[in-house]
Amino acid sequence: MGEQATRVITGQARRKRFLAVAAAAAVLLIAASAVAVIAVRGQQRDSLAGQRPWGIPASVPDRTINLMGLAPVPARPAPGFTLTDQDGRTVLLSGLRGKVVVLEFMDPHCTDICPLVSQEFVDAYHDLGRSAPNVVFAAVNVNQYYNRVPDVLAYSRAHQLTAIPGWHFLTGPVAALRAVWRAYGVEVQAPSPDADIVHTSAVYFIGPGGTERYLAEPMADHTSSGAAYLPAGQIAAWGRGIALVARTLSS
């Protein structure tokens, strides 16, 4: 599946962002209507003015903030949910209290930006070092047609995410997934099982107390044929950035 993000400021939503993601053929059909919104009112203004967004620790360098599109969000309780992970275990978000949660939204049939983010998660886990036990990496399924446990397990294995002890690729009944999408401002367009999934791509950083703290914007470049890629150096830099932000929240 394909995906590509664009950030747009809205006057009211601080955390909604709509990411249009499509393979080359699908781009011709949906690119005109795909709109990305990132929910950080005022933070993009600061960035455009060359100012550092307020509320990010000095230990996170400007280059990391710019690379990740990192911005603080209001420190409010992250919307709770109960879903099932790739191992068939029931996972409550509230049950992860005490750990930093790095939360993304992924399609288990994605061949575009999701695999890039997956590699960044694996890199981040290794970069965390001794802090790794304090961090959970999680993704909520956005593909209503492939919402079985074997679907998310196959993806997790294919992208080495099962090497992360604190990894959860979460899925469940379509109604339950849609409720989580709404709660986190995630837009999903899935017209049919064979169509490209268009959905928000965002990384939420949730603190040990269960509050949302930061939001990052995954990125990808595309070849002339529509294939997504990032230079290895950028993927590694994203991994270091995710680890750094998670570490600041766990300390």
Q: What is the 3-state secondary structure (H, E, C) of 102-134?
A: EEEEECCCCCCHHHHHHHHHHHHHHHHHHHHHH
- Whether residue 14 is contained in a domain is answered as no
Distance, CA of 247 to CA of 244 (rounded, Å) = 5
Tell me if residue 84 falls in helix, strand or coil: strand
- Whether residue 215 is contained in a domain is answered as yes
- Whether residue 16 is contained in a domain is answered as no
Q: What is the pLDDT of residue 15?
A: 42
- Whether residue 3 is contained in a domain is answered as no
142: alpha, beta or left? (left if phi > 0; alpha if psi -120 to 50):
alpha
Q: What is the pLDDT of residue 25?
A: 32
Q: Considering the entire predicted model, what is its pTM? A: 0.80
- Whether residue 18 is contained in a domain is answered as no
Q: What is the pLDDT of residue 180?
A: 97
CATH of the domain at 170: 3.40.30.10
- Whether residue 107 is contained in a domain is answered as yes
Q: What is the pLDDT of residue 5?
A: 35
Q: Which two tokens stand for residue 23?
A: 């393979």
- Whether residue 19 is contained in a domain is answered as no
Q: What is the pLDDT of residue 47?
A: 42
Question: Among 244, 200, 228, which Cα is nearest to 115's?
Answer: 228
pLDDT by position in tens, the chain (length 251): 444 333 323 323 334 333 333 333 333 333 333 333 333 333 443 443 345 788 899 999 999 999 999 999 998 999 999 999 999 999 999 999 999 999 999 999 988 899 999 999 999 999 999 999 999 999 999 999 999 999 999 999 999 999 999 999 999 999 999 999 999 999 999 888 887 788 888 999 999 999 999 999 998 888 888 888 888 999 999 999 999 999 999 98
- Whether residue 8 is contained in a domain is answered as no
Q: What is the pLDDT of residue 51?
A: 59
Residue 121 is part of which domain span? Answer: 24-250
Please tell me the total count of domains within the chain.
1
Per 3-state DSSP, the chain is made up of helix, strand and coil in percentages (nearest 5) of: 35, 20, 45
Q: What is the pLDDT of residue 30?
A: 32
